[in-house]
Chains A and B, each alone.
Chain A
Amino acid sequence: MNKIASKIGEWILFVFTLALSILFLMPILVVLMNSFKGKFYISAAPFKLPTVGTFSGITNYITGLTRTGFLSAFGYSVFITVFSVSVIVLLTAMTAWYITRIDDKFSKGLYYLFAFSMIVPFQMVMFTLTKVANTLKLDNPIGIILVYLGFGAGLSAFMFCGFVKSVPIEVEEAALIDGGTPVQTFFQVVLPMLKPIMITVAILNTMWIWNDYLLPYLLIGNDYKTIPIAIQYLKGGYGSIDMGAMMAMLVLAIIPIIIFYLCCQKYIIKGVAAGAVKG
């Protein structure tokens, strides 16, 4: 009797959770559905399925692609994200190893500065960072990589430092005594041991840079639009939005994220949970 009751209870919970997860997916499905409707039928009845009269095929996608230059935005987003993340992971790992192994005042000071930078919101440096970057001619897709390295260094170096402390120093010393240079030691001995934390740092930075709107908008937004800028640009200055193009672009913006998520889901969930140190 008791067993049957608990089986039924489990089944009810399952159905409830299933309903909840469908509800959770609804907003994305509604956008997907509307991306195939004529632009005048979207705001009027967003929850109605497309009919023969309102179905517009891929018109919205074509309008959106031509109006926002989405393909070049996708290219810039990929370029900036891939290179910034690679540079951040490699260089902050090197820095973190150095300041953890060399225990002097300078290292300590730098460590605390990195930690401090994590609690500073972007708005605090928004205006001055833009001015500095303009003066130094960093306002292009290459220069912004250096800006991302500088502004993202705090969290990444902080996380690497925490991990390096738990790596046994004896292996490194043995490698150095055997005649290896610090560069060889770092790349052949230390880096392989840092792999788990490298994945975490890479994922956190990818999510940040891929979705970042304000920094690229202020620095390079006029000449080089990334995906979030292209979408915001669609809104225009006069309040009227082409809802069809907007829906299509939202779908195109979500697709790469879902693919990325499904490919490295395990690492993403673990990485995000581990990155909970960030405020």
Chain B
Amino acid sequence: MEKILKRYFPLFVLPTLIAFTVAFIVPFVLGGYLSFTKFTTVTDAKWVGIGNYIKAFSNKDFLSALWFTARFAIVSVLSINIFAFALALLLTKGFRGTNLFRTIFFMPNLIGGIVLGYIWKLIINGFLQHWSVTLTYSPSYGFWGLVVLMNWQMIGYMMIIYIAGIQSVPDTLIEAAKIDGATLWRILRSITIPLVMPSITICMFLTVSNSFKLFDQNLALTAGDPANRTSMLALDIFNTFYGKVGWEGVGQAKAVIFFILVALITLPQLLLTRSKEVEQ
């Protein structure tokens, strides 16, 4: 079989391979190289060593974005997972309309980031009107606005994963615990949570990496205002590339740092899901 199939390499692999090379391999390698150079159009690159990285780490906007992103990730990861888990518990009680509720809670996940951003801009500005201020009045408004938006978008998604986890907990275990007189809290802590741990791990990784990579929502909701204080990493990289002439190299260095951060966060998850595949 292998021998015959190999002759069909140009048909089966080549188209994907060409596109993958053009859209991923070349840009990735070129990006890595350019982060060590000064350039404006790629062809005029001059080697500057780690100069761009030094500039990136001493750039006020970048450090502010890094700190903002880290704080945002911690707060949204905790809130999203707590709410999603609670909702999943609620929707596995088996009362009427469970399917309809699941449909509703999941829906915001399908709406794109730009649209989500403008929806919430209207809502939050509407509330802030009572104090005659707007979303871009203070960075902390933008921060909490993004947290609320992200919760609205991601809770339903994580809820789906948690529901699947909770439903796989054997009923007999819970029945036995009830007969032994365990309280609901005790059942949750000693049976449900330990058995749902794989789902919790997946959801943690998903929310962390999605929070880190947030761009569209950030652009639409605050666009970094006031004064770039609510820019997250992805938006700061975009602004460095396209907003500051002569900073392309620094932008690329920031992008490499961003890539390493995201890779460190998502790699364990990838290895985890792969090793599970092997076990099966």
- A interface with B by C-beta (< 8 Å): 10, 13-14, 16-18, 20-21, 24-28, 30-31, 34, 42-47, 91-92, 94-95, 97-99, 101-103, 110, 113-115, 117-129, 131-133, 136, 138, 146-151, 153-154, 157, 162, 169, 172-173, 176, 181-183, 186, 207, 210-214, 227-228, 231-232, 243, 246-247, 250, 253-254, 257-258, 260-261, 265, 268-269, 272-273, 276-277, 279
Among B8-16, B55-63, B138-146, B169-177, the one that faces the other chain is B8-16
User: Is B21 a contact partner of A150 (Cβ separation < 8 A)?
Assistant: yes
Residues of chain B within 8 A of A42, CB atoms compared: 122
User: Is A31 a contact partner of B114 (Cβ separation < 8 A)?
Assistant: no
When A94-B12, A127-B251 are in contact, do A119 and B270 touch as well, CB less than 8 Å?
Answer: yes
Residues of chain A within 8 A of B108, CB atoms compared: 24
- Beyond known contacts A30-B123, A91-B19, A214-B215: 6 more, CB 8 A cutoff: A101-B2, A103-B2, A128-B30, A148-B23, A150-B20, A214-B238
List 26 A–B pairs whose Cβ atoms lie within 8 Å, in order of A's numbering.
A24-B104, A24-B108, A27-B123, A31-B119, A44-B129, A45-B126, A119-B266, A121-B212, A125-B27, A125-B31, A126-B238, A132-B30, A150-B22, A150-B23, A153-B19, A153-B24, A169-B1, A182-B8, A211-B113, A213-B114, A214-B216, A214-B238, A228-B115, A253-B111, A254-B111, A276-B206
Please report whether the interface of chain A is mostly helix, strand, loop or mixed according to DSSP: helix
CB distance from A90 to the nearest CB of B (A): 10
CB distance from B225 to the nearest CB of A (A): 10
User: Is A151 a contact partner of B23 (Cβ separation < 8 A)?
Assistant: yes
How distant is the Cα of A162 from the Cα of B275 in the complex, in angstroms? 12
User: Is A18 a contact partner of B31 (Cβ separation < 8 A)?
Assistant: no
Chain B 10-42 per-residue mask, 1 if CB under 8 angstroms from chain A, else 0:
011101111111111111101100100000011
Residues of chain A within 8 A of B42, CB atoms compared: 128, 131
CB distance from B130 to the nearest CB of A (A): 11
Cross-chain contact of B126 among A47, A110, A213, A258 (Cβ < 8 A): A47
Residues of chain B within 8 A of A128, CB atoms compared: 26-28, 30-31, 34, 42, 252
- B interface with A by C-beta (< 8 Å): 1-2, 4-6, 8-9, 11-13, 15-28, 30-31, 34, 41-42, 87, 90-91, 93, 95-97, 100-115, 118-120, 122-123, 125-126, 129, 152, 157, 160-161, 164, 202, 205-206, 209, 212-213, 215-216, 219-220, 233-234, 237-238, 241, 248, 251-252, 255-256, 258-259, 262-263, 265-267, 269-270, 273-274, 277
User: Is B105 a contact partner of A129 (Cβ separation < 8 A)?
Assistant: no
Residues of chain B within 8 A of A214, CB atoms compared: 215-216, 238
> Across the two chains, which residue of chain A brings its CB closest to B29?
A128
How distant is the Cα of A231 from the Cα of B185 in the complex, in angstroms? 47
How distant is the Cα of A147 from the Cα of B22 in the complex, in angstroms? 8
Residues of chain A within 8 A of B1, CB atoms compared: 101, 169, 172-173, 176
User: What 9 pairs across the A-B complex have the smallest Cβ distances?
Assistant: A150-B23, A211-B112, A279-B266, A150-B19, A46-B126, A125-B27, A128-B27, A129-B27, A98-B12
CB distance from A102 to the nearest CB of B (A): 6
How distant is the Cα of A119 from the Cα of B267 in the complex, in angstroms? 7
How distant is the Cα of A211 from the Cα of B216 in the complex, in angstroms? 10
User: Is A250 a contact partner of B215 (Cβ separation < 8 A)?
Assistant: no
User: Is A98 a contact partner of B9 (Cβ separation < 8 A)?
Assistant: yes
CB distance from B265 to the nearest CB of A (A): 7
> Across the two chains, which residue of chain A brings its CB closest to B155?
A24
User: Is B101 a contact partner of A17 (Cβ separation < 8 A)?
Assistant: yes
CB distance from B96 to the nearest CB of A (A): 6
Cross-chain contact of B8 among A46, A47, A98 (Cβ < 8 A): A98
User: Is A123 a contact partner of B255 (Cβ separation < 8 A)?
Assistant: yes
How distant is the Cα of A140 from the Cα of B265 in the complex, in angstroms? 34
Cross-chain contact of B13 among A30, A46, A95 (Cβ < 8 A): A95
Residues of chain A within 8 A of B21, CB atoms compared: 150
User: Is A113 a contact partner of B25 (Cβ separation < 8 A)?
Assistant: yes
CB distance from B263 to the nearest CB of A (A): 5
How distant is the Cα of A132 from the Cα of B24 in the complex, in angstroms? 10
Cross-chain contact of B270 among A13, A148, A277 (Cβ < 8 A): A277
CB distance from A154 to the nearest CB of B (A): 7
User: Is B125 a contact partner of A272 (Cβ separation < 8 A)?
Assistant: no
CB distance from B148 to the nearest CB of A (A): 10
How distant is the Cα of A10 from the Cα of B93 in the complex, in angstroms? 8
How distant is the Cα of A168 from the Cα of B201 in the complex, in angstroms? 31
User: Is B105 a contact partner of A21 (Cβ separation < 8 A)?
Assistant: yes
Cross-chain contact of B259 among A95, A124, A261 (Cβ < 8 A): A124
Cross-chain contact of B110 among A30, A43, A268 (Cβ < 8 A): A268
User: Is A17 a contact partner of B258 (Cβ separation < 8 A)?
Assistant: no
User: Is B27 a contact partner of A123 (Cβ separation < 8 A)?
Assistant: no
User: Is A123 a contact partner of B270 (Cβ separation < 8 A)?
Assistant: no
Cross-chain contact of A91 among B15, B23, B115 (Cβ < 8 A): B15
User: Is A99 a contact partner of B270 (Cβ separation < 8 A)?
Assistant: no
Residues of chain B within 8 A of A120, CB atoms compared: 24, 28, 259, 262-263
How distant is the Cα of A175 from the Cα of B75 in the complex, in angstroms? 55
CB distance from B273 to the nearest CB of A (A): 5
